[in-house]
Structure 1
Amino acid sequence: MAAMGHEDRAEALEHYMTDQLDRKVEFGEGAQTSIEPQVPRGTGNLFRPTTSGFEPMPDKPTLIDFFERRFAPARHVLQSANHAVQTGQPERTVFACLLHDVTQNLIKADHGYWGAQLFAPYVDERVAWGIKYHQALRFFPDESVGYAYPDMYNRIFGADYEPDEYIKQAHEFARNHRYYMEARLVTVNDQYAFDENQREVKIEEFTDVIGRQFKQPREGLGNDNSPVAHMWRSIINPNRPL
C-alpha cells in the first residue's frame, strides 16, 4: 500500500469495502466459509488467473496486434479459417471463421452475440451476422451441407442436452433468413477446427484477407470512439480496476 499513489490507494480501499459489503450479504454477518472461490465458467480467458501478465499493446493497436498479444495462440479460429480456405469458401466466410470465437477471450457466455457486437462497426454486416448466429446453429444439424450434430457436444453437454429456448428461437429465425448460410458455413468449418495434428497456422497468412475485410480505425481499436471501443479497451487492459 505504501508504494501506491493516492488514487490507487483510494481505489484499493473502495474495492475492499465493496467486497466486504458483498460478502456480508452473501454469507451473512460474521460468517466464515471454507469454500474455495470458483471462476465462473463463462469468464473470458483474459479474466482468469494468470502468472504471465499481459504484453503491452501499441498506441494504435490493429486487429493483428490483438491476435498476437491477446487472442494468441488462437489455434482453433486459425485452423477454422484455414479449413475454409482449403475447401474454397468465399473470403467473407474465411474471415468470419477467423473471428468467430475470439471473443471468448473477453467472455465465453453468449460469445456469438458478444463477437458480433465487437466486430460489427468494422466488418461487412454478413460477417457479423454469421458470427452471431453460429452460436445457435451449431446445435442443429443440416444435412444439406453435411453438418451433423458434433459428437463432442454429446461429451461436453450430455446426450440428452436441450438448448435454451432463446437458442432454439435464434435457430428458427436464422434458418429462414437470407443470411442463413453466412452462419451455417462457420459451423461447417468449425467442425474441423479441433485438430491437434494440423500444422500450425499463422495469423500472417491472413494479412491480406484482414486488409480487405476489416475496416481498421486510424486511431487504433479502442481509441476510435465507436460504440464498442470500451470492449476493445477491456481486452487491451484486463487489469483496469474500474
Structure 2
Amino acid sequence: MNDTMYFNIILIILGAFPTCAQRSHEFCLAYGCFDSSDTQLSVTLDGEEIFFADFKKGDLVWDSRIPTSIHMSEAYGYAKYYRTLCNHDLIYFKKDKSEVVTIKEAPEVTIYPKEEVIMEEENTLICFVKHYFPPSIKIKWTKNDVEVTSEDPFIKSLTNIDGTFYVISTLGFIPNEGDIYTCTVDCEMMDEPQTKFWEVDGSMYTAKTPDGPTIYFGFATFFGLVGVAAGTFFYVKAQQSDS
C-alpha cells in the first residue's frame, strides 16, 4: 500500500470521526499467510478495524461506520499484492525448518452485551475472543441449547502486539426472560471447546420506552451525517492538494 493511499485513508477516517483529530493515532496494516488456510489482511486505526480482505469473495469488507461513497476500490488490488508477497515469503522461510518456531496459545473468551439491554427490542451480544495463535478457530452461538449460528472468523481476526490474534463475534437478539445464550470457541490449541454463558434477567435491564429510543436514533443519525460530510471534505481537499 503506497504512501498516497495511506494518506487518503487516514484523512477519510479522521474526517468521518472528527474526535480523532484531537490526539495521535496508530494506523496499522497487518497480513499473514498459513499452510492451513488462506492469506489474512486487515487495516486498523487505534485497534479498530477499518476493513479486511475476503479473498474467497474477491472483495474488501469495510467497517459499517465508513461511508460507502468513499470506499477505495483500488485497495483490494493492494491486498492481492500482499497476498502474493506473503505466499512467496512463506515458501522461502519453509526451506529452513530449523528457524521456524511453533508457538500455540489458547484463547481467552468473554461474552457480554454491546450496550445496555432494552427488553423487547433488538440488542447485540458480543463474544470477545483474544490471545490465540494460530488464527484457526471456530465460534458457535446457541440460544436455549439450540445452535443459531456458527462461523470461521479467520479473515476477521486482528493481530495483537505480541503476535497473537483477537476477534469479535456478534449476535443480534431480542431478550426474553430466562433465555440462555452461549458462545462456544473451539480450536486446535484447546483440549476441549470453551463455552461462555449469558442469561436474560429482566430485572437487571431497561424496559422499553415509547420515546427514548426514537429520540436517540434521531440524534445518532444527525451526528452520523455530520461525520460523513467532514470525511468527504477532507478527502476532496486531499485530492485537490495532490493536484
Task: Specify the TM-score bucket, using the shorter chain as the normaliser.
Answer: under 0.3
User: Relative contact order, CA 8 A, sep 6+: which one is greater?
Assistant: 1
TM-score after normalising by structure 2: 0.23
TM-score after normalising by structure 1: 0.23
Structure having the higher helix fraction is 1
